[in-house]
Chains A and B, each alone.
Chain A
Amino acid sequence: MINENTQELIQAGVDGELDDAGKAELGKVLETSAEARRFHSELVRLAGFLDSIPGREMPAGLHARIVQGIDLPTQRKRKSLFELVESAPLLRYGFAGVAALVLAVVISMNRDDLGATSDVSSMVGTMTSPLPEAQMDIVDRFTIDAGSMNGLVTLERREAAMVVNIDVEAVEDFELEVDLAGSGLMLDAFAQMNSQLDSISFNGEKFNVSGRGRQQFVLILNPGAGSGKVGQSRIDLVVKQQGAQVQSGSLDLGGASI
């Protein structure tokens, strides 16, 4: 019967916890005792068996749940563009003040990016008037949890507009495509908050951005000419990293009236 000290020595050897002197001592014990050798071999097999049990995959969406549940010490509460507008009275009197005064809410497209049909000044006008008293309903949401990226895209209804509110963070460069082709909606305005996207483009149907780190921005959409109701349609989303699609999905407008 091997004693407790020997058992402990053998266990420490199996667990890789011995220094050179301990290894030498263990070597001697194993040379001289058949029972120690049997115990050692059994423990090696048990430890190897337990180490070989595969890990269990995390449930989908857990990463996003964890990250979104954490408020960092110096981080301000996430606000939508509308909350920011509502909290800054000056903004109610003209969007010219928005870019100059506040935040990083910047209408940051240029005409070349937008194409001939878009007009930056009209986008600005759309954002200012009905917002302060407007009710907001979340119509649909899409959680991004892919590669080194996570975030949340919500589709919100604000009286006269539909708003896509995007809050993502990515350790590596990402691209996001928002395809309006199947939505019956037109892009009216775009604004960045606390973010600096690397590129922004819009071809009349697809709105594409790229960047890294935390990016918060919104798209303000209105129905096409003559339409007051959005049908059973959707906005498609594609997320890419390193040129490859890592996630896709859609926001369902679900017949929301605006």
Chain B
Amino acid sequence: MHDERDTALLEDCKRGDRAALTSLVRRYERTVFNAAYRMLGNPDDAADVTQTTFMKAFENIGRYDPKYKFFSWIYRIAVNESINQIHKRNRFGELDENEVSSDRGPDEVTEAGRTGHDVQAVLQELNEDHRAVVVLRHFTECSYREIGEILQIPEKTVKSRLFSARQQMKDRLQSRGIEF
């Protein structure tokens, strides 16, 4: 159902229908922003990546292969853009790889929000490959097959990366005294 609606909206977008564009962006912008935020740990960078993701998706819409889901296409761009942003940041030494922005949103003042901040810190300690599978599984609710499509890796690799990433997260959360 979701796929059919996406396909119809995409066709309308190709005809220049901006209302369809608005609809399509609204469907995925929050998830793309959150995925980028979990990859980067910084809301400003995540906002930039979200904007770039949609711009690139629509600039290259002719290259979109409809045999894949639209969200796979857009999440792939988002993950790649996030990784590019991490590399750029590391090159220019703007933020340490393991540092999480101290810019806490209003939701992070609460207990749950503080835990979210700690989880973010642990995520930042994972390498990009491991972080990406955790983000796609837990923050965009993708299946193994979808994660494989997005990252262009076999499902077997998805499983092993996810297993390894979770083990690292479990150990690091426990060492921070976080109960789960």
A→B interface (CB under 8 Å)? 7-8, 11-12, 15, 17, 42-43, 45-51, 53-59, 62-63, 65-67, 69-75, 148, 150, 169-171, 212-214
Contacts and interface: CB of A to CB of B under 8 A. Distances in A.
14 contacts: A8-B163, A11-B166, A43-B166, A46-B169, A50-B134, A53-B116, A56-B34, A56-B46, A59-B44, A62-B47, A66-B25, A67-B21, A69-B54, A169-B22
A67 B14 contact: no
Contacts of A67: 18, 21-22, 25
A72 B22 contact: no
A45 B29 contact: no
Contact of B139 (A55, A75, A150, A213): A55
Q: Determine the main DSSP class of B at the interface with A.
A: helix
A50 B119 contact: yes
Nearest to B55: A69
B107 A57 contact: yes
Interface string B55-83: 10010011000000000000000000000
Contacts of A50: 119, 134, 138, 169
Contact of A72 (B13, B33, B144, B162): B13
A8 B107 CA distance: 35
What range describes how many residues of B lie at the interface?
Answer: 35 or more
A70 B20 CA distance: 12
A72 B14 contact: yes
B51 interface: yes
B14 A73 contact: yes
Interface in B81-100: none
B21 A70 contact: yes
B25 A63 contact: yes
Contacts of A69: 51, 54-55
B1 interface: no
A19 to B, nearest CB: 13
Closest 10 A/B residue pairs (Cβ): A49-B180, A74-B16, A50-B138, A75-B16, A55-B34, A72-B16, A70-B58, A213-B19, A58-B33, A66-B54
Contacts of A55: 30, 34, 139
B115 interface: yes
Contacts of A17: 143-144
Given A56-B116, A170-B19, 14 more contacts: A11-B162, A15-B162, A17-B144, A46-B173, A55-B34, A56-B43, A58-B30, A59-B47, A66-B51, A70-B58, A75-B18, A212-B19, A213-B19, A214-B18
